[in-house]
Amino acid sequence: MSMISHLFSIRATTCLTRNILRATPIRLLSSASSSPNKTTNANDHILPKELPSSEKRKAKFNISWKTVSVTFIGAASLIAFIYYLDQRKMQKRKVLQRAAVGKMAIGGPFSLITHERKPVTDKDFRGQWLLIYFGFTHCPDICPEELEKLSEITDLLRRDKSTQKNPFQPVFVSVDPERDTPELVSTYIKDYSPHFIGLTGTREQVAEMCKHYRVYFSQGPKVGDDYIVDHAIIMYLINPNGEFVDYYGRNKNAKEVAYAIEQHMNAFKESNK
């Protein structure tokens, strides 16, 4: 009897052990499957959430008016600078073209006397910029106006330090040599500027220079001892090499002429570097 009871006890223990072993993996799997969810939930509070698609579009195209304005101003400034450089090149090209054409048509050698009675030729003025005006001391209105303008041009150009290498020299040439002696020319030009040089000479010498510079002049009818000389009203610009560069009529004021001469001076400096 006790033997039979012992066998039943062993069998019951075996069944209980088997049931415990079967139940243990299920619990382990259940706990393993539940722990990642807890970790993920915990990390949800640490990692940043992803932006919605509408917010992404706003961030992608978020360009302020300040950025647009700065970009526009920068582009406009660049275009303006390029345009300025192009215009400057065109201006220099025109200056050089006019100078090349003028060299063959106007200018040439001359031999005259200064207002200080010193004989001079065109070679004595090499190394200087000359602005030559042809007139006469008895001119009632036009010559005084043009000489006032020549004086203003001289003052404007002498202020510019860049012209010191090749100084600027204004020159007055009389087309009335019969009356315009060196003494009279000296008194006349001093009323306008101390920087003027006056030139006169014999009628043949004056006529020769006027021929080279294509300057028309003609003595009008006399009224007693007085008469008017009809002449061209033009200023001629000569470079330091003694070559004709440009001319200016009454339609140009002093500032316009001074600016044009400065452009020629700069072009000459660039071409002789």
Tens-digit pLDDT profile for residues 60-114? 555 677 777 778 788 888 888 888 777 776 666 555 555 554 455 789 999 999 9
pLDDT over 80 (residue 265) = yes
Known binder of ligand: residue 139? yes
62-71, 209-218, 253-262: which is most confident:
253-262
Q: Strand pairing partners for 235? A: 133, 248
What average pLDDT does the structure give for the chain? 79
**Percentage of the chain with pLDDT > 90?**
48
> What does the pLDDT read at residue 29?
40
Record the tokens describing residue 18, joined without a space: 């088997």
In 99-228, which ranges are E strands? 111-114, 119-121, 129-135, 168-174, 197-200, 217-219
> What does the pLDDT read at residue 168?
94
Alpha carbon separation from 183 to 71, 117, 137, 198, 218 (Å, rounded): 68, 8, 11, 10, 23
Whether 128 contacts 167, CB under 8 Å: yes
pLDDT over 50 (residue 42) = no
Task: Kindly report which listed range (50-59, 192-201, 242-251) carries the lowest average pLDDT score.
Answer: 50-59
Known binder of ligand: residue 15? no
Known binder of ligand: residue 231? yes
Helix (H) or strand (E) holding 238: strand 235-238
pLDDT over 80 (residue 176) = yes
**Percentage of the chain with pLDDT > 70?**
70
> What does the pLDDT read at residue 159?
84
